[in-house]
Amino acid sequence: MRYEEKDTVNFCHMGSFVAEVYYDLEVNHLHHCRAFLRKEELENYAVYID
């Protein structure tokens, strides 16, 4: 999970691809989802891995 402005962005590994789900906690609304295959897209999450 990471945060962007008002959104919580959840990372979901779906086996053969990865999805990002953008959710606005303030208004309880899922408003965007995107899927990707490239490993470079995972760099946004690297800082959260311990």
Q: What is the pLDDT of residues 1-50, one digit of tens each?
A: 778 888 898 888 888 888 889 999 889 999 899 998 887 777 777 776 65
Q: What is the dihedral of CA 30, 3, 21, 36, to 10 degrees?
A: 150
Label residue 14 exposed, middle or buried (CB < 10 Å: 0-12, 13-18, 19+).
Answer: exposed
CB 7 within 8 A of CB 21: no
Q: What is the pTM of this model?
A: 0.64
